[in-house]
Amino acid sequence: MSVATASCFVNAPIHAMDILRSPSHISAVRFCQRQRFAIERSRRCLNVRSTLPFPEQKAKYHKELEAAVDAVERACRLCVDVKSSLFSSDGRVLEKNDQTPVTVADFGVQALISLELGKLFPSIPLVAEEDSAFLRSRNLAETVVNAVTAKASPTNKPCTQDDVLDAIDRGGKDAFVFGSNPATYWVLDPIDGTRGFLKASKALYVVGLALVVDGEIVVGVMGCPNWQTDLSKKSTADFEECNDILNGSGAIMIAHIGCGTWTKRFSLLQDRTTKFPGAWTRCFVDGFDVVHKAHFCIPDSQTWESLPLSSIFNATTEPDSVEDNQILLLPTCCGSLCKYLMVASGRASVFILRAKEKTIIKAWDHAVGMICVHEAGGKLCSEWFFYTIVISNSLMFSAEIVIQDYYSLLSMI
């Protein structure tokens, strides 16, 4: 059996996530218990409309999470509006071979969230994916300004083009320099799963936002506008009865260190008057204890046959006909954060990614997913049944804010 590389999320308890200094003054992620530190908060009034499932007294970063939820919900509505310009009512692509819609959405989300959080927490920097150079070169700034203005919270003055471009650059690669001490910052992935965004179907994509305080991931919010099924344990068949209610809604998942992982539906309509059944629901990872009862999820770029485990178990996508030598393989989805969402919600037991050696993975692709899985009782990369997963160099958050992801599959029992 040849050595392969993989990453895997499983349902085992882990310690708190901490981003610590490495000897080379590069922040690194590890799992440990440590005292959490307070961050400097803005004294401005938090004019947000989101409510959380736990009281402020039990959540040290309640205000930050509340603001993050509101910002991500607004960003999801921006994505839906921009995407509607890409397709006709019958699902035909209106703009072939044109990346303009996803560009506007990507930059628009980053600008919107940067503006919303910057007003409330001006001392906390933002680490994100984009800067405004590309936007300026394509003359798309005005389109992005219009998209952001339509979803931004009311202010005394309208957003200008300079406001939006500056907000984007606030999260650019040169906006913040990390020193030798553990840092405090927001981490944003504007649109994780751009292929899903560009599909006319209900393919999934996620807006992901996390807060790192003194090197520790303490808050996470994932918004998924296209999630058309419940994140609870209801079957798909049971939930089809509610499809009419769910049209025009998305799903949002939140996590706060020590307070668990929670999810709810939210309205994609600007007026937020649409009502949905239920409120916040606590999330837990799947409680599987044998391999063939687990629900597996793999990237859409890979096949089950490409994984070593396929030599023992065949895969089926039919939940009602899983045999002893088979595992249930869930439909794949685009983007890293979608898989974290699947595992944290309990819909998938395991996500396996067979990665290339020396793969460089962006921090914003994982930070929010890590805390959501962790607070739901899950574990990232450990020993699991037939695999021994070893993390070399841990998960590195470098000065460029990337994760050096070296996972080695050493043996198969």
* Residue 338 dihedral angles phi and psi, to the nearest 5°: -60, -40
Q: What is the residue-averaged pLDDT of the chain?
A: 72
324 and 341 housed in the same domain: yes
Provide the pLDDT for residue 203: 76
Q: Which two tokens stand for residue 112?
A: 């919107």
Type of residue at 62: H
Domain membership flag for residue 2: no
220 and 170 housed in the same domain: yes
- Residues, the chain, total? 413
The CA radius of gyration of the chain, in Å to the nearest whole number, is 21
Provide the pLDDT for residue 351: 82
Higher pLDDT, 392 or 141: 141
Provide the pLDDT for residue 30: 34
Domain membership flag for residue 222: yes
Q: Residues at the annotated binding site?
A: 129, 189, 191-192, 365
Identify which of 12-16, 251-255, 321-325 has the greatest average pLDDT: 251-255
Cβ 391 vs Cβ 407: under 8 Å: yes
Provide the pLDDT for residue 34: 35
The per-residue pLDDT for range 319-341, each reduced to its tens digit, is 888 888 888 998 766 777 888 89
Provide the pLDDT for residue 197: 83
201 and 323 housed in the same domain: no
179 and 322 housed in the same domain: no
Provide the pLDDT for residue 24: 30
pLDDT value at 123 more than 70: yes
**CATH number of the domain residue 396 falls in:** 3.40.190
100 and 177 housed in the same domain: yes
pLDDT value at 94 more than 90: no
Residues identified as active-site: 106, 194
Residues of the chain above pLDDT 70, percent = 65
Provide the pLDDT for residue 355: 64
226 and 289 housed in the same domain: no
User: Mean pLDDT throughout 46-55?
Assistant: 66
Q: Is 413 helix (H, G, I), strand (E, B) or coil?
A: coil
pLDDT value at 278 more than 80: no
Where a domain ends, among 283, 311, 340?
A: 283
Domain membership flag for residue 40: no
Provide the pLDDT for residue 399: 22
Provide the pLDDT for residue 311: 86
Provide the pLDDT for residue 383: 39
Where a domain ends, among 253, 283, 313?
A: 283
Question: Whose CA is closest to 166, among 210, 206, 122?
Answer: 122
Provide the pLDDT for residue 221: 98
pLDDT value at 140 more than 50: yes
User: Mean pLDDT throughout 39-58?
Assistant: 59
186 and 304 housed in the same domain: no
124 and 199 housed in the same domain: yes
Domain membership flag for residue 266: yes
Domain membership flag for residue 146: yes
Domain membership flag for residue 46: no
The per-residue pLDDT for range 330-385, each reduced to its tens digit, is 876 677 788 889 889 888 888 877 666 656 667 788 899 989 999 998 877 543 33
**160 Cβ contact list (under 8 Å, min separation 6):** 145
Domains contained in the chain, number: 2
234 and 347 housed in the same domain: no
Domain membership flag for residue 39: no
215 and 364 housed in the same domain: no
Q: Residues at the annotated binding site for Mg(2+)?
A: 129, 189, 191-192, 365
234 and 122 housed in the same domain: yes
Provide the pLDDT for residue 201: 65
Where a domain ends, among 257, 283, 309?
A: 283
pLDDT value at 49 more than 60: no
User: Mean pLDDT throughout 196-217?
Assistant: 86
21 and 65 housed in the same domain: no
Q: b or e along 148-166 (b: 16 or more beta carbons within 10 Å of the residue's beta carbon)? A: beebbeeeeeebeeebbbb
Domain membership flag for residue 196: yes
> Structural domain of residue 145, as residue ranges?
56-283
**CATH number of the domain residue 227 falls in:** 3.30.540.10
How distant, in Å, are the alpha carbons of 216, 257, 380 from that of 35? 10, 12, 21
